Amino acid sequence: MPLVVRDVMRLLSSVAEAREMKAAVRHSGRGALVTGAVAFVGGIVGGPLGLAVGGAVGGLLGAWMTSGQFKPVPQILMELPPAEQEKLCQQVTDIVRNLDWTDAVQLTTLVMGSEALQQRLLALLVNYVTKELHAEVQYGD
């Protein structure tokens, strides 16, 4: 039976929820901008010493801004553009192709009852989140 993208996103969300998966997408560009801006202001206000202090403070502020912004993976999946969701759907189809199921609920039940299938889908999710979204994955609280 062909998979519908929405159903695949729900399936992946179920797997991610079972493991309490979260991901933090790093905003390194924003952190670099803050670091540069604070260093610039420090240099204007305090000369060479202000530049050094501004760079240090800006670096700390930039690092603080870009850390710890974890979102639940199911939320990230639902916010993906349709083309990315379709790409994930094709990869999931390759994994569940040989299963015998009639609807999305039965497919989810089959997957959640199989540790091996969950592991394969988790590996797919972790790979996607880390490689495509350049995010850090975290489990649990």
Tens digits of per-residue pLDDT, 49-61?
A: 888 888 888 777 7
Is residue 35's pLDDT more than 90? no
Summarize pLDDT for 81-120 with one digit per residue, the tens.
Answer: 999 999 999 999 999 988 888 888 898 999 999 999 999 9
What pLDDT is attached to residue 55? 83
The token pair that represents 55 in the structure block: 């760079």
Mean pLDDT of the 120-128 span: 94
Strand order in the sheet with 70-72: 70-72, 21-25, 135-139
Q: Which residue has the higher pLDDT, 129 or 38?
A: 129
Listed in sequence order, the residues at least 6 apart from 53 whose beta carbon sits closer than 8 Å to its beta carbon are: 42, 46
